[in-house]
Amino acid sequence: MSPKLVIGANGFLGSHVTRQLVADGHQVRVMVRANASTISIDDLDVQRFVGDIWDNVVLREAMAGCDDVYYCVVDARGWLSDPAPLFHTNVEGTRNVLDIAKDAGLHRFVFTSSYVTVERKRGKTTSETDIINDKGLTPYVRSRVQAEELVLRYAREKGLPAVAMCVSTTYGTGDWGRTPHGAIIAGAAFGKLPFVMGGIELEAVGIEDAARAMILAAERGRVGERYLISEKMISNAEVARIAAAEAGVPPPAKTIPLPVAYALAAMGTAKARLQKTDEKLSLGSLRLMRAEGPLDHSKAVRELGWQPRPVEESIREAARFWVGLREAKRQAAKRQTEAAKPD
């Protein structure tokens, strides 16, 4: 059995892909950056390759003899005032990896794309056939669109057996890096989320279901195709409510109306421009949080055999993860304190 390679295996999605591949009995290789936190995969029996997506020697060694490569690297910092790092990683870094992968004799190259690469319009259900208009896109979205187009071009023109997975917002356990959306669940589960923003809905999917879709794509995905991987649309307020209920604490008491959120985002955008700072709440980031219409994931169901669970289950799992992690830290601190006491 040929090995599988996960590039970016220590990230939220990459770690879950890695864990499922190991659980399925595959020989698994992982590629991670030097000094990267690997707590999410440290307990797994995998072969490690240390390097980044610009290290061609390590890329060739890691891909040699593999049948499937899962590419789970993305710079998702859509709030950067200087977008150059987004294009450096998401576009040029991807291009570098593709140049190695096209000559590696792979069975599948499964690329982590995003649901932001499809055109969404209010009142219309969006499918993979909806091509996004590149006018007015934020730098982050433009970098994701360009990266996906690059992957599909390599499939058409250079024989790379690539599949693009348009993954939506992921929730679930094992969010060791505390993603921005995971931070909302953590805050709600700890009873420390002072408010939620009203009128904000996101397409969402459980992290384990997203990882399973990636693996199914390697087995059944059609080369050159893209698949929408999202279970449903859900509001930020509902996510916080579910997480708080699972943790047994009251939900956030306040909701900021959407016009107020836009005013705060405009202030963040102005500050970023004037002071050259990175502001997480900006007009660009708020646009990303506003869903224009629901997604149709029936292609993934039909062609991949994908059957996602209700995303609410994954939100509850995430809340339990954060509560459990906090309790483990408390117990560790207590043991350390007791060990320091004189006899």
Backbone phi and psi for residue 217, each to the nearest 5 degrees, phi listed first: -65, -35
Which tens digits make up the pLDDT trace of 129-147?
999 987 778 889 999 999 9
Architecture of domain 4-237+289-327: 3-Layer(aba) Sandwich (3.40)
What is the bridge-based pairing of β-strands 201-206 and 232-235? antiparallel
- Which DSSP state fits 227? E
| Both structure tokens of 306 | 């994908």
Contact by Cβ (8 Å): 312, 319: no
DSSP three-state, residue 10: coil
- Average pLDDT over all residues of the chain: 90
What's the rounded Cα separation, in Å, for the pair 229 and 113? 10
Contact by Cβ (8 Å): 96, 53: yes
Nearest by Cα to 65 from 26, 9, 31, 106: 106
Which tens digits make up the pLDDT trace of 148-188?
999 999 999 999 999 999 999 999 999 999 998 899 999 99
pLDDT tier at 79, thresholds 50, 70, 90: confident
Q: What are the CA-CA distances from residue 117 to residues 12, 149, 203, 337 (Å)?
A: 20, 9, 13, 51
Question: What pLDDT is stored for residue 133 in this prediction?
Answer: 82
The domains of the chain are located at 4-237+289-327
- Which DSSP state fits 81? S
DSSP string, 136-162: T--HHHHHHHHHHHHHHHHHHHS---E
Nearest by Cα to 200 from 264, 248, 272: 264
Question: What pLDDT is stored for residue 284 in this prediction?
Answer: 62
Question: What pLDDT is stored for residue 80 in this prediction?
Answer: 81
Ramachandran quadrant class, 191 (left: phi over 0; alpha: psi -120 to 50; beta: rest):
left
Question: What pLDDT is stored for residue 198 in this prediction?
Answer: 72
| Both structure tokens of 322 | 């954060």
> Cα–Cα–Cα angle for 189, 278, 204, nearest 5°?
40
pLDDT at residue 278 greater than cutoff 60:
no
DSSP three-state, residue 126: strand
Nearest by Cα to 169 from 217, 223, 115: 115
What is the bridge-based pairing of β-strands 68-71 and 195-197? unpaired
Question: What pLDDT is stored for residue 216 in this prediction?
Answer: 98
